[in-house]
């Protein structure tokens, strides 16, 4: 049995940084909460809870002490309310997400109608949207939604950092027909592109593909979709115990990748389980 | 025999304006020259010559009197040299071309590497390029050439006004992989898009397609290419006497369109000839 593990599987720069900030803070502060789950990995969130980092959903419900801002960032309004409280703020917002927030603010102050390529419900997207002040903003998930955009003279396009490049490309093509000027900041994180490209390459070569990551993780779900389109025998799993031995019947090669929020120890557990099952 | 004449065939706004300016000036000024051919229609240029508008290729060779600047515009350097001469300047530069020149200047002053979608040898393109000062500029004809562009943090994209939208779209897609910020001014003239779209629609419906316009006219050649891709039985002609009767064997329907620089009287002559031949 041949097993190919993607070199790009797992934690990206922003998640690694957030996890480190959270772990360091758990030792440093007596009382520390995370505003929303730190990243979309229920397993890491649980581990942090064991170290005393409690998840609180609303600013109002935060106790005294320190608060950690999750990697996806907050809305401008949440950040303002947070700053009003007498709390120590540990900002683990991914620097690439912060950049997208800055572009949103810059484009809106320069009179562009802002088009954000992403999923409307995702906290990162809601955060970025909140930095558009004084101009229109539209969140579009795909080129079909983009077709419904109104025509505007100046369109500014940014993307959720974990979007696929193909999706951005298709939406920009539609925007070119909607506005005389189209200004695009490609805010897709390189790590996402590298991970998706590597996943595609591996999926083409193997009989079975495993994609590891939180079921609530948008980037992992997108990664699974990319693999499934190439190799229908692809499975999105969160942990090693979700692997079924019958998947390996008539399988000579297995590819493994993982989303940006998947901790290394979970990848290792999956790797061990696959090796055991296919011995 | 069914004949479909495109409503968008012939003179666009800029050419109509240039032709009118030239005809009016031929009556107003005792001595008037055109710097380069006014538009890419040898027939109209000949007609203007009969009215006293002589074509002169270089600023140095212009006699005293008035000069008309052709619809494609001049390079910044030519314009400066022209302004130094004691001549009356009638500026027939198409306002849409002027706008593209302005964007080139604006993008370059803001530090963008400028990508101009167009044909390097075309006078309009050479004019626009000359307004880039202090930053890099690259002329790309298609997405294959765009693939060879270097990566730059800020790319500004503009287009020759008669380019096809599809070409702009494909080149922008490549640029998105070359720069973090891509700012596109869609300088393609609406008339071009409308003419190309209508030509496509007609070419799909007919057995034979005639595309009328100067063999030196880039927009007519592009129109012919668009039609030939859909209906191989498409012919680019300059005048009615280039039509061969044998083209109409087994033909039940004929489509006719014409480039932006094709005078109405030539279109009418073609229409008459086709009707005669297919009676």
Considering only CB atoms, B185 lies closest to which of A172, A173, A180, namely: A180
Q: Say whether B173 and A168 touch across the interface (CB within 8 A).
A: no
Mean pLDDT, residues A31-44: 91
Provide the mean pLDDT of chain B: 95
Domain A96-187, CATH: 3.40.1010.20
Structure tokens at B50: 């009969």
Q: Say whether A183 and B183 touch across the interface (CB within 8 A).
A: yes
Cα–Cα–Cα angle for B275, B276, B277, rounded to 5 degrees = 95
Q: Say whether B169 and A176 touch across the interface (CB within 8 A).
A: yes
Cα–Cα–Cα angle for A41, A47, A52, rounded to 5 degrees = 125
Q: Which CATH architecture has domain B96-188?
A: 3-Layer(aba) Sandwich (3.40)
Question: What is Dmax (Cα atoms) for chain B?
Answer: 62
Domain ranges of chain B: 2-10+191-277, 13-93, 96-188
At B48-86, the pLDDT tens digits run: 999 999 999 999 999 999 999 999 999 999 999 999 999
Partner B contacted by A193 (CB < 8 A)? no
Which residues from chain B sit within 8 angstroms of residue A173, using beta carbons?
169, 172-173
Q: Say whether B184 and A184 touch across the interface (CB within 8 A).
A: yes
Q: How far is B186 from chain A (nearest CA, A)?
A: 5
pLDDT for residue A231 is more than 90:
yes
Q: Which residue of A has its CA nearest to B170?
A: A173
Partner B contacted by A94 (CB < 8 A)? no
pLDDT at site B59: 94
Q: Say whether A176 and B186 touch across the interface (CB within 8 A).
A: yes
pLDDT for residue A96 is more than 90:
yes
Mutate: best of A177, A182, A188, A196, partner B, most B CBs <10 A: A182
pLDDT for residue B278 is more than 90:
no
Mean pLDDT, residues A201-206: 97
At B188-199, the pLDDT tens digits run: 998 988 999 999
CA-wise closest residue to A35 among A6, A3, A74, A5: A74
At A15-26, the pLDDT tens digits run: 999 999 999 999
Which residues from chain A sit within 8 angstroms of residue B180, using beta carbons?
185-186
Partner A contacted by B185 (CB < 8 A)? yes
Q: Say whether B176 and A169 touch across the interface (CB within 8 A).
A: yes
Backbone phi and psi for residue B115, each to the nearest 5 degrees, phi listed first: -110, 120
* Residue from A78, A119, A124, A198 carrying the catalytic annotation: A124
At B19-33, the pLDDT tens digits run: 999 999 999 998 899
CB neighbour list of residue A83: distance below 8 Å, 6 or more residues apart = A89
Structure tokens at B34: 């055109």
Q: Which of residues 26-65 of A touch B (CB under 8 A)?
A: none
Q: Which residue of B has its CA nearest to A166?
A: B173
pLDDT at site B40: 86
pLDDT for residue A252 is more than 90:
yes
Mean pLDDT, residues A269-276: 95
Q: Which of residues 164-183 of B touch A (CB under 8 A)?
A: 165, 168-169, 172-173, 176-177, 179-183
Q: Give the Cα separation of B10 and A213 in Å (integer).
A: 59
**Fold annotation for B13-93:** Rossmann fold (3.40.50)
Q: Say whether B173 and A173 touch across the interface (CB within 8 A).
A: yes
Q: Which residue stretches of chain A are H helix?
A: 13-28, 42-50, 76-84, 95-109, 123-130, 143-146, 165-176, 190-205, 218-230, 264-277
pLDDT for residue B134 is more than 90:
no
CA-wise closest residue to A77 among A114, A1, A130: A130
Q: Say whether A181 and B184 touch across the interface (CB within 8 A).
A: yes
Considering only CB atoms, A184 lies closest to which of B168, B169, B176, namely: B176
Which residues from chain A sit within 8 angstroms of residue B186, using beta carbons?
176, 179-182
A181-185 and B181-185: which strand pairing?
antiparallel
Q: Say whether B185 and A185 touch across the interface (CB within 8 A).
A: no
Domain A2-10+191-277, CATH: 3.40.1010.20
pLDDT at site B279: 81
Which residues from chain A sit within 8 angstroms of residue B177, using beta carbons?
165
- CATH 3.40.50.11270 at A13-94, yes or no: yes
Q: Which residue of A has its CA nearest to B179?
A: A186
| Residues of B recognised as catalytic | 124
B232 burial (CB, 10 Å; 0-12 / 13-18 / 19+) is exposed
Q: Say whether A168 and B176 touch across the interface (CB within 8 A).
A: yes
A96-187 shares the fold of A2-10+191-277: yes
Q: Give the Cα separation of A157 and A176 in Å (integer).
A: 11
Mean pLDDT, residues A213-220: 91
Whether the CA torsion B10, B12, B14, B19 is positive or negative: it is positive
């Amino acid at each position: 049995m041949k097993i190919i593990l993607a070199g790009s599987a797992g934690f990206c720069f922003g998640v690694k940084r957030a996890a480190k900030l959270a772990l360091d803070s758990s030792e440093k502060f007596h009382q520390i909460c995370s505003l929303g789950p730190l990243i979309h990995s229920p397993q890491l969130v649980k581990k942090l809870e064991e170290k005393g980092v409690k998840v609180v959903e609303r600013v109002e419900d935060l106790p005294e002490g320190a608060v950690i801002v999750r990697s996806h960032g907050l809305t401008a309004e949440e950040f303002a309310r947070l700053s009003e409280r007498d709390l120590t703020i540990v900002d683990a917002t991914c620097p690439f997400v912060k950049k997208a927030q800055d572009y949103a603010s810059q484009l809106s102050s320069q009179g562009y109608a802002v088009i954000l390529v992403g999923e409307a419900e995702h906290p990162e997207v809601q955060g970025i949207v909140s930095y558009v002040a004084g101009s229109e903003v539209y969140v579009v998930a795909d080129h079909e939604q983009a077709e419904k955009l109104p025509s505007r003279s100046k369109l500014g396009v940014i993307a959720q950092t974990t979007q696929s490049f193909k999706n951005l490309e298709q939406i920009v093509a539609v925007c070119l027909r909607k506005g005389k000027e189209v200004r695009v900041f490609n805010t897709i994180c390189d790590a996402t592109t590298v991970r998706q490209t590597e996943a595609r390459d591996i999926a083409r070569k193997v009989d079975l593909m495993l994609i590891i990551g939180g079921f609530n993780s948008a980037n992992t779900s997108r990664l699974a979709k990319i693999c499934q389109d190439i190799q229908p025998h692809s499975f999105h799993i969160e942990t090693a115990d979700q692997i079924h031995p019958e998947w390996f019947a008539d399988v000579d090669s297995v590819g493994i990748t993982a989303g940006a929020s998947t901790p290394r120890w979970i990848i290792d557990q999956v790797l061990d389980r696959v090796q055991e099952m296919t011995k």
